[in-house]
Each structure stands twice: as structure tokens, then as C-alpha cells.
Amino acid sequence: MNDSRAQLPNSPSAAPTATSETKPSPPTPSPSPSPSPSPSPPAIVDGAAAGKALAETETAIRSPATPPGELAALGRRQQVLYRTLVANPAWRADALAQLPPALVPVANANIEAGAELRALTSPQQNLPPWRIVEPPPANELLAHYKQAETEFGIPWQYLASIHLVESRLGRIRGTSPAGAQGPMQFIPSTWARYGRGDINSPLDSILAAGRYLKAAGAPGNMARALYAYNHSDRYVKAITLYAEQMMKDERAWLGYYHWQVFYRTVNGDVELPVGYGS
């Protein structure tokens, strides 16, 4: 989706057999609720301010003492901060200088992943023909990933990372210009070979992704398997970087889970809220 469908900040409109970047989707009638511009968080006017905010946000996400009810706002803020740093590469050094040493590689990885995905697409004139819905609960998705890990031997973090990029964990409903469908974005011919059940089912699609990756060489050669899923070295790098953050600290998943759907337009970032396109 633009942001692989999710603009995270951007990845190709992905199908497991895609070989090239797809063209933007046509415009749709005015959705409800209306999308809204996505400004930087208050007081984020330079790299130092972004770094200070990011240090607080990342620390809170990783702390078991953080109340669960605060994670949604923290995850969204984390996402916007990384989008801001990707869009302003000159701020990066000043931002990193504000972080404790343990968080520097975390921030570097997320910025690099975002930059790789952003490089795959360009700002669009029109908003996409999607519906935005609530994702399944975090614990439910985690159980699905771990079921696929048990069955196919693929670390669950890679499946979560693909899901995050392909449909923002199922928030995005819609068929890509290449014909890809469902939470893990399979084209029908690939689903016919690797899918079981309902292409729109979170569990069925996650298991199909595990089955596909296994056939493509995972877990022994994850890079080759990810490249088979989407023929882009940038995509492979981004998926791997996100997965590695969850491997190092499972609480990183709790931040990513709350990332929203942002769409990069010629007029700037637009947030597509739940209910968009309904």
C-alpha cells in the first residue's frame, strides 16, 4: 500500500509476487470521517527537540511500568517523530545526540527503515480508495504470529513486520492496483497456492505468509525469502530492521501496534482515521 499501502513512511504496493512498484490508485469519493493533516508534535521544531521527545517516548514504551492505556498515544507519537526525522534527514545527528546510548541503535534502525520505505514511492495527488478499520487486539495478533512461528519456524517478528508494512496490521482494507488482497497482501494466484481459508482472515493470511516464506527459503535465508515476498532490496532491509527491534525487545511490538495509517501527499502527510472510506 502506498506506505505499502500504509505509507510507513512508504513502501511498494506489495504482493508476494510483485516485481515492480505499482501506480497510484484512483481517487475516491470524500470519505467519512475526513482525513486530517498530520503535523509534527508540538514544539518539534528541530532535531534536538525531536530527540528529546523520542527519548521520552521510546523509554516509556519499553517500560513495564507504563500503563497499557498510555501506549496508544505513545505509539502514535513515536510514529510521527520517526516520520518527522525521516522527512528531515539534516535533523538526525542532533536528534540522536539527545538519546541515551541504549536507544541510539533503536532510533537509527527505525529511521533507516522509514527512509528505505519512503524511497520506494513518491507523494500522491489523490487519497487512496481504502477503508480504515480497527485492527485485531495486539495479544490476538501476537498469538497468530507465534502460531505461524511454531508451524513454519519463521521468527514471529518477521511476520509482524510484514503485517505492519503491508496493511498497518490489518487497518487498511482494499485491493492494491496489482490485485493484492487481505492483511498480508496476496495476489489471488499466489493465495491459491499458499493460502488456506479466507484471504481476509488475519490468522489465515498470516499462516499463508509463513507458508510462502518457508517455501522461499525461510528461516534459513530470510533475506531471500523476503525478497521473494516483495522484489525490493529496500523492502527487505526495512522489514528486517523492524523485525530486529522486536527481537531485541518484545515491547517494541507495543509501539508498532499503535502506528496509524498516514498517507504522503503532495500537500504533506495526511492521517486516515478509523472510519475513513466507510
Bin 277: left if φ > 0, else alpha if -120 < ψ < 50, else beta.
Answer: left
- Which cell numbers in the block locate residue 109? 534502525
pLDDT of residue 29: 40
Secondary structure (3-state) at 270: strand
Among the listed residues 89, 117, 96, 112, the one whose alpha carbon sits nearest the alpha carbon of residue 54? 96
Question: Taking the domains of the chain in order of start, what are their residue ranges?
Answer: 36-271
Set of cell numbers at residue 252: 517494541
How would you label 155-182 residue by residue, b for 16+ Cβ within 10 Å and e otherwise?
A: bbbbbbbbbbbbbbbbbbbbbbbbbbbb
C-alpha span between 154 and 201 (Å, rounded): 20
User: What was the pLDDT predicted at 52?
Assistant: 97
Instruction: Please answer whether residues 118 and 129 qualify as being in contact, where contact means their C-beta atoms are separated by less than 8 angstroms.
Output: no
Q: Among 259, 245, 270, 271, which residue's Cα sits nearest to residue 72?
A: 259
Q: Is the peptide bond before 136 cis (omega within 30 degrees of 0)?
A: no
Q: Residue 124 in 3-state DSSP? A: strand
pTM exceeds cut of 0.85: yes
- What pLDDT, on the 0 to 100 scale, is given for residue 121? 87
Q: Residue-wise pLDDT tens for the chain (278 aa)?
A: 334 444 433 333 344 332 223 333 333 444 446 666 555 455 689 999 999 999 999 999 999 999 999 999 999 999 999 999 999 999 999 999 999 999 999 999 999 999 999 999 899 999 999 999 999 999 999 999 999 999 999 999 999 999 999 999 999 999 888 899 999 999 999 999 999 999 999 999 999 999 999 999 999 999 999 999 999 999 999 999 999 999 999 999 999 999 999 999 999 999 999 999 98
SS3 for 170-230, per residue? CCEECCCCCCCECCCCECHHHHHHHCCCCCCCHHHHHHHHHHHHHHCCCCCCHHHHHHHHC
Output the pLDDT for position 201. 98
Alpha-carbon gap, residue 207 to 188, rounded angstroms: 15
Question: 6 vs 11, 102, 132, 189, CA distance in Å?
Answer: 8, 29, 10, 23
pLDDT at site 278: 83
Given CATH 1.10.530, say whether it is the number of domain 36-271. Answer: yes
- Give the span between the Cα atoms of 140 and 42, in whole angstroms: 33
Q: Which residue bears the cell 536528534?
A: 95
Mark residue 261 as left, alpha or beta (left: phi above 0; alpha: psi -120 to 50; beta: remaining): beta
